[in-house]
Structure 1
């Protein structure tokens, strides 16, 4: 199924997003990470929509085809973006799906608005103390070194080659969309600004997530080199004791595009359980 993107104007920014399903159906909001785009959810969006949900996946500002924030691209601004985007689409409550930085953004938003979260699917991310940045993140967080690293990543041929080694089964159009963040210096800097804005104060509210008693499914790549599976269990134990954990065997960080055939059954099971609760 081919997915096309829509655009809306939000605070004088053009925001690109994918939407499938009826506007009268319950909304599922899917938030991608770094360096990704809404195309992370290419294989999931049609499946979720086919179960009777309105699937909505924005390109976060600066990613995909969305304009970057006119000023610093900080963690706080991305958290606020969730509320602004929802308001623009008249979404009161959502079923939240998050991955990577999308989890740090989306779960941090959920700390402030737990009553707006109808269910959660959490993948390869964390908002619990104790996480140590992976080596590439540490480079991005380092002034001057980070700039050199993202500039080197703007070599499209080399970047594509490396990503295809990491995710051999990924569709070409997904990687093409992911790469757009590296095409211009102003968007490459979005990555640096976001990583450098991270602070412990934004993690301190993580216990607010225990207020969310709705269905939670935690999906993780068995061999994630960036965020180990330990954090799947920490997320459950410290925030969502009622959550179901599914570890996807022989996969890395980008499970939704690496092994969609393994991920989709768990996503479908999650929304079947949600529908049962709605009856």
Structure 2
């Protein structure tokens, strides 16, 4: 019960984990089981397990603002981690508000003007096709698609899809439609990131190709770009490896 505690714990710097889409905080469960530190929180985004505030329209800017508000309430810089859209949001925050971030780590969330949205994202961005997709979405076929196309373990894919409710569907559509030119808009400010940074990326991801992980690493002067031998959901496929990389990253000399 009193095992060795990493130096980051001694400083009581919290670690905050932010999920992507279509996930909730539960996507981090496997990683958290492999972490030795206890001051770790995984937050649900509005519409993804958390109730959206009044007037919240689920745009990319609103998610960033919502996260900044919560991070300000922590009262000290945090070890900020994100996957997929969580990677995108947290990198944006570290670029805009470096005072809130002690270290940053993220993966499989491209921020580049050269990135072309994957086919499913383009469906969601289309007002007609996106609405039709969500109206017709059946959990079991969607889970099978995730398992087949992204190598998500079947039971985890089924659990993930079981949480895709009405508010999440609406939030996904609104977010993607606000993000048509996200890469071009947000890429320039990446140069403002000052936090020690780690990029971890599933090298077999067909939707967010590894070249964009390497590009992100260069843009933010990351201390490491970790290429993992897996698909998009690194946190589900390689939880032990992600956890080990995070703890090594958190304990690097500043």
Which TM-score band (shorter chain)? 0.7 to 0.9
**Structure 2, unaligned runs of 5 or more:** 1-7
Report the CA distance shift for 1:148/1:59 in structure 2 as closer, same or farther (over 3 A). Answer: same
Asked if 1:193 corresponds to 2:174, the answer is yes
- Higher normalized strand content (fraction of residues): 1
Secondary structure of the residue aligned to 1:144 is helix
Which of 190, 196, 199 is residue 209 of structure 1 equivalent to? 190
Partner residue of 2:238?
259
Moved more, 187-196 or 99-108: 99-108
Shift of 1:23: 11
Distance 2:12 2:59 in 1: 32
Report the CA distance shift for 1:168/1:112 in structure 2 as closer, same or farther (over 3 A). Answer: closer
Secondary structure of the residue aligned to 2:205 is coil
How many residue pairs were aligned?
246
Report the CA distance shift for 1:234/1:173 in structure 2 as closer, same or farther (over 3 A). Answer: closer
Report the CA distance shift for 1:178/1:60 in structure 2 as closer, same or farther (over 3 A). Answer: farther
TM-score, normalised to structure 2, is 0.85
Distance 1:214 1:141 in 2: 32
Secondary structure of the residue aligned to 2:17 is strand
Q: How does 1:29-108 map to 2 (within 5 A)?
A: 29-48=16-35, 50-51=36-37, 54-63=39-48, 65-71=49-55, 72-88=57-73, 90-108=74-92
Which of 2, 8, 14 is residue 27 of structure 1 equivalent to? 14
Shift of 1:168: 5.1
RCO higher in structure (CA 8 A, sep ≥6): 2
Asked if 1:161 corresponds to 2:144, the answer is yes
Shift of 1:257: 0.4
Secondary structure of the residue aligned to 2:79 is strand
Shift of 1:144: 1.1
TM-score, normalised to structure 1, is 0.78
Secondary structure of the residue aligned to 2:242 is helix
**Alignment root-mean-square deviation, CA:** 2.6
Contact (CA 8 Å) 2:113, 2:183: kept in 1 or not? no
Shift of 1:221: 0.7
Contact (CA 8 Å) 2:14, 2:40: kept in 1 or not? yes
Contact (CA 8 Å) 2:147, 2:157: kept in 1 or not? no
- Higher normalized helix content (fraction of residues): 2
